[in-house]
Structure formats: structure tokens, C-alpha cells
Amino acid sequence: MNSAGQIVVISFSCDGTKARAALWENGSLVDLNTVIPAGCSLQLENPAAINDRGEIAGLGLPPGCSAQNDSVCGHAFVLIPCRDDHPGIKDCDYNEVEETARSGSFLLRLHKGR
């Protein structure tokens, strides 16, 4: 939880078999997988932290990686809000990262190395 009252959580399907990273903000729950482009190679599953700038760190799973093997094949991610309170981040364009995708709400940065 950050000072703005935003909370990152793991949301589970009704049968408990599918986990998704989610953000609780202003009384609404948002699946973080819906604020990154469709076709992204990573399923955002386990958010670990959110800072006061709204940046979210966590763990995601690429296709073929199960939650039981996340320590072997999972990837760390950082979601950076594309908002006016992130000065100097022109269009949320980060050319130096290995995989970048921009959506209306967040820029996704993936850590590919182990």
C-alpha cells in the first residue's frame, strides 16, 4: 500500500486456480493485465509492491510457465504509470529495456535476466 491508498493484491478466480495481479484504487479493483497491451508475453500474476509514485513491481509468468515453477521461469516486472506526475518520461518511451509495451495507463518494463 502506498501513501495515496493504492493497494496491489493478488486476485484469484472463483475456483482459486487462476491468479492475477490487481490494483485496488478508489473503491475499484483493476486487473493489471488489462492495462498492458493485449498479446503481451507475460501474465502479471504476483504484485510485490507499489511505491508513492504508483510504480508497481512484481512477478509475471511467460507462456508455458506454471505458478509452481515461477522461481525458475518467472520474470520480474515494473509497471510505470503514464501520467503527468512522472516528469521527464516523454511518452513513457524506454528504448533501453529489452521489452517495452505502452498502454493508456502503464509502461511495462520486464527484467529478462536471471
Q: What are phi and psi of 92, to 5 degrees?
A: 50, 40
Q: Which residue has the cell 513513457?
A: 92
Domain-located, residue 62:
yes
Domain-located, residue 25:
yes
List per-residue pLDDT tens for the chain, 114 residues long: 999 999 999 999 899 888 999 999 989 999 999 887 667 888 999 999 999 988 999 999 998 898 888 888 989 998 887 655 555 554 454 343 334 444 345 767 665 544
* Owning domain of residue 94: 7-111
Q: Provide the domain count of the chain.
A: 1
Give the other-Cβ count within 10 Å of 45's Cβ: 22
Domain-located, residue 52:
yes
Domain-located, residue 2:
no
Domain-located, residue 28:
yes
Domain-located, residue 49:
yes
> Among 82, 90, 114, 109, which residue's Cα sits nearest to residue 98?
109
Q: Strand locations in the chain, DSSP E?
A: 7-12, 19-25, 28-31, 43-50, 56-61, 75-81, 100-102, 106-111
Indicate the pTM of the whole model: 0.76
